[in-house]
Structure 1
Amino acid sequence: MDISLYESLDGQTALVTGATRGIGKIIAENLADLGATVYAGARDPDDIVASTQRPVQLDVTVNKDVKTAIDVVKEEEGALDILVNNAGISPGLGPLHTIDFDEFERTMAVNLRGPTLLCKHALPLLLNNRGGRVVNLSSGLAQYTTDELDGGKPAYRISKIGLGGLTAYLHAEYNEQGLIANAVSPGWVRTDMGGEAAPRSPEKGAETPTWLARFKPGGPSGKFWKDKDERPW
């Protein structure tokens, strides 16, 4: 597939959630290295130490944080070209009947409700110019068309399947206005969530999300990706 990419993001603005560590930290660094003005979302802005990024307080479960973060971007830059919904959690390892339902609700709040609320507030900025991008960090565990939905982690799986639904909705509703929305599996990555046994580095996990953030107007949208290849939902 021949996809046109920005070689430089100079003059563009990005917001990355969960940017303090792991994959989100590397994505924020990558986008800044490409020239973007990067707002790094964090529950504690003091955790963002990179001089090339602008810290913004952002707990995606807190309505006020979400709206305020978008307002800050609007007031300071007047535009948003890239939204990377990276923040996520994965508690509750057992099957559905064994998990603490408070953990289920917390997972849905972080992994699905948060990205949805961010998109609601960010869409007016993303649609200002054709080619605004939404990159949703998903997982291979969210591929509901496979026969591999067993194995526990119901809250994580269901929230990420929902994130795929959000991605498909954004494409169907807004692609004609120029929005490019995609979901991506970074693979099993050595992060606080993935653990030390994971085979992939955070740098490898951030590679395809960064690539998706570079799509030029008219690029593929409404799809699920891994390693720069389209995968089935």
Structure 2
Amino acid sequence: MSLQDHYAGTMVSVERYDSLEGQVALVTGATRGIGEQIAIQLAEHGATVYAGARDTADVGASDQRPVELDVTDDGTMRAAVDRIEAETGRLDVLVNNAGVGGPKVPLGEAAVEDLDSTLEVNLRGPVVLTKLALPLLLEGDGSRVVNVSSGMGALGEGMSGGWPPYRVSKAGLNGLTTYLHGEYHAQGLIANAACPGWVRTDLGSLAAPRSPAEGADTPVWLATFEPGSTSGRFWRDRAVIDW
């Protein structure tokens, strides 16, 4: 399938898989909210989906493979990647979705331990998991890393209004995206970041205008990119936005 998308003021062709049949995806934070919907939609596209969860009993979908994965626990991340390699021998899509909001107050009022715990989940976890998954990702041509980011971490949109570790961690996740593109795109890796918008989740609140399924749309869309597609960009509603 070929789509035309707005890209830095020009139109570019994005080649996408019609089906992910035969491909393997790992989604972190897959038991609720946007992550749950990403896992559901990837399975609907035909992928074998490993649903990362701190408690695998929370994964109720019969067409997903629950895998213990806590992004604050290096051992579970390593074990999850090892299991995927042992069972399938491949990893085509890694979706770094797991995240927490952290303290909402300005930085000067935030507790250091709350800053640490937010950065650990939102930034350190994705960096370490991606490192562990890279050998398997790079075995295939055109494997995708999709980082679920936020407009709250966009440098060009300004960052006033509290939530300091959340904003900084999402800016860092965008940095991971551009790094992966610069370092590994020549080896076939496709890395992109997605802003799901304001979504009705525990983090976004019931006042948010978007459903989790709507929030999952762009991350799932990015997960269907074929080899050679656009990489190293930040997307919202299937269009490139500024960092």
Alignment TM class, shorter chain as reference: over 0.9
Are residues 1:111 and 2:122 paired? yes
Matches within 5 A, 1:138-217: 138-146=149-157, 148-217=158-227
Q: Which amino acid aligns with 1:206?
A: A
CA distance in 2, matches of 1:218, 1:20: 31
Q: Write the deviation string for residues 96-140 of structure 1: whole angstroms up to 9, x where unpaired.
A: 000111111001100000000111010011111110000000000
Aligned residue for 1:49?
60
Alignment of 1:7-156 (within 5 A): 7-146=18-157, 148-156=158-166
- The DSSP-based 3-state class of the residue aligned with 1:2 is strand
Q: How many residues align?
A: 232
Deviation of 1:145 (Å)? 2.4
TM-superposed CA distance for 1:2, in Å, is 1.7
Deviation above 4 Å: which 4+ runs of structure 1? none
Unaligned runs of 5+ in 1: none
Q: Specify the code of the residue in structure 2 equivalent to 1:187.
A: G
Higher strand share: 2
Looking at structure 1, the residues matched to 132 and 165 of structure 2 have their Cα atoms a distance apart, in angstroms, of 25
| Structure 2: gaps (5+ residues) | 1-11
TM-score in terms of structure 1 length? 0.99
Give distance in 1, aligned partners of 2:112 and 2:165.
9
Aligned AA for 1:97? G
State the shift of 1:59 in Å: 0.5
